[in-house]
């Protein structure tokens, strides 16, 4: 009897997880259908990753008169400014744009008048956010592959296949990181409604303390301290180092720190979103525009 009950419980649990995953897929599919209604939108995100890389690359080349920098070599161990800058930008764009798009998923539902319907459906809030993130990640994934393709062409023969896989592992873990950060920002958007200013400001501050196109050593000391507390730092440094210098114990250490911080941020995100939701339900302002 006990066994049957435990079995049933287990089955219920696994069917719930499958149900949540199916719901996330349904949300992502719905967003894909909307995107297909605007083919220009889809096309733009195929070209955009290249457009986003160019200003920093041209600016760097203008200062250097080419691709290689002695100063960068002293600071980081590599003189290839193009690959160094591009790898940082690729990781940062994937996280930042997915985050932005996911955080505004709820607001988008409000605009289209489907928020309440979605909200009363029997799915977890985490699934709701994850469904949005899934679509954004899939969409941006195409651009990411184009960007990585260009970088691999530049750096061909200077890294192994294993290093590339390890670098992609950093991107995989960053999905958990995005989910945690998106939960926090979604809660904020739910509260502030038109809170894009604050979201942009937070994103900008994170970007400044993240070594995207420059090493940590370039920042002023107080920013360096903040940078070490920023999970994005470990993501970008690990991702870039794996491709540029190969995998060593430091890479695995960075991956470990990224995993721990991502899980921590995910727990904080779920809690923060739940608290915000409770507060707004009490106030009765969830449905307000």
Give the whole-angstrom CA distance, residue 114 versus residue 121.
11
Give the span between the Cα atoms of 202 and 133, in whole angstroms.
Answer: 19
Applying CB under 8 A, among 69, 86, 136, 174 the residue interacting with other proteins is 69
Q: Which of 34, 63, 264, 267 binds other proteins (CB under 8 A)?
A: 63
Are residues 134 and 28 in contact, defined by beta-carbon separation less than 8 angstroms?
yes
Query: Please, are residues 95 and 174 in contact by the beta-carbon 8 Å criterion?
Result: yes
> Which stretch, 194-202, 227-235, 257-265, 276-284, contacts other proteins (CB under 8 A)?
194-202
Q: Which of 184, 169, 153 is nearest to 277 (CA)?
A: 184
CB nearer other proteins, residue 55 or residue 287? 55
Q: Binding of other proteins at residue 67 (CB under 8 A)?
A: no
Identified binder of other proteins from the candidate list 7, 71, 192, 275, rule CB under 8 A: 71
Residue number, 1 or 51, with CB nearest to other proteins = 51
How many CA atoms lie within 13 Å of 8's alpha carbon, on the beta-carbon side? Answer: 5
Selected range binding other proteins among 71-79, 112-120, 238-246, 248-256, rule: CB under 8 A: 71-79
Q: Please report how close the Cβ of residue 225 comes to other proteins at its closest, in angstroms.
A: 16
Q: Tell me which of 1, 40, 117, 120 binds other proteins, using CB under 8 A.
A: 40
- Given a contact cutoff of 8 angstroms between Cβ atoms, the answer to whether 50 and 142 are in contact is no
75 binds other proteins (CB under 8 A): yes
Q: 175-188 burial by CB neighbour count: b if 16+ within 10 A, else e? A: bbbbbbbbbbbbbb
Which of these ranges, 10-18, 38-46, 123-131, 161-169, lies near other proteins under the rule CB under 8 A? 38-46
Half-sphere exposure of 24 (CA within 13 A, CB side): 21
Q: How far is the CB of 217 from other proteins (least distance, A)?
A: 8
Residue with Cβ nearer other proteins (7 or 112): 112
* Residues 41-60, mask of contacts with other proteins (x by CB under 8 A): x--x--xx--xx-xxx-xxx
Beta carbon of residue 219, minimum distance to other proteins (angstroms, whole number) = 6
Task: Give dist(CA 214, CA 78) in Å, integer.
Answer: 12
Asked whether position 34 contacts other proteins by CB under 8 A, the answer is: no
Quick count: other Cβ atoms within 10 Å of Cβ 34? 13
Site for other proteins in 115-154 (CB under 8 A): none
Measured CA to CA, the distance from residue 166 to residue 249 in angstroms comes to 12
Query: Shortest Cβ distance from residue 212 to other proteins (Å)?
Result: 7
Q: What is the DSSP letter of 80?
A: B
Which residues make Cβ contacts (< 8 Å) with residue 42, sequence separation at least 6? 35, 36, 139
Phi, psi of 244 (to 5 degrees): -80, -35
Task: Indicate whether 102 belongs to the interface with other proteins (CB under 8 A).
Answer: no
Q: How far is CA 96 from CA 52, 67, 140, in A?
A: 12, 26, 11
Please give the residue ranges that form the binding site for other proteins (CB under 8 A): 38, 40-41, 44, 47-48, 51-52, 54-56, 58-65, 69, 71-72, 75, 81, 85, 197, 200-201, 204, 207-208, 212-215, 218-219
């Amino acid at each position: 009897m006990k066994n049957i009950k435990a079995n049933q419980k287990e089955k219920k649990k696994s069917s719930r997880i499958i149900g949540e995953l199916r719901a996330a897929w349904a949300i992502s599919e719905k967003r894909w259908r909307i995107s297909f209604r605007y083919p220009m939108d889809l096309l733009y995100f195929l070209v955009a990753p290249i457009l986003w890389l160019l200003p920093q690359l041209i600016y760097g080349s203008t200062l250097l008169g080419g691709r290689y920098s002695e100063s960068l070599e002293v600071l980081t161990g590599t003189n290839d400014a193009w690959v160094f800058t591009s790898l940082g930008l690729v990781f940062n764009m994937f996280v930042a744009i997915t985050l932005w798009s996911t955080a505004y998923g709820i607001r988008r539902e409000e605009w289209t008048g489907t928020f309440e319907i979605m909200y009363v459906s029997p799915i977890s809030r985490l699934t709701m956010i994850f469904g949005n993130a899934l679509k954004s990640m899939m969409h941006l994934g195409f651009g990411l592959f184009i960007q990585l393709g260009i970088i691999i062409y530049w750096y061909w023969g200077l890294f192994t296949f294993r290093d590339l896989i390890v670098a992609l592992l950093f991107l995989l873990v960053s999905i958990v990181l995005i989910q945690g950060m998106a939960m926090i920002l979604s809660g904020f958007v739910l509260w502030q409604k038109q809170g894009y200013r604050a979201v942009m400001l937070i994103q900008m501050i994170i970007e400044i303390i993240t070594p995207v196109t420059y090493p940590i050593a370039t920042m002023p000391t107080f920013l360096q301290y903040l940078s070490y507390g920023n999970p994005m730092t470990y993501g970008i440094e690990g991702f870039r180092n794996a491709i540029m210098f190969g995998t060593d114990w430091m890479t695995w250490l960075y991956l470990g720190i990224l995993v721990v911080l991502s899980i921590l941020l995910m727990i904080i995100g779920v809690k923060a979103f739940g608290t915000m939701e409770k507060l707004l339900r009490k106030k009765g302002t969830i449905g307000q525009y």
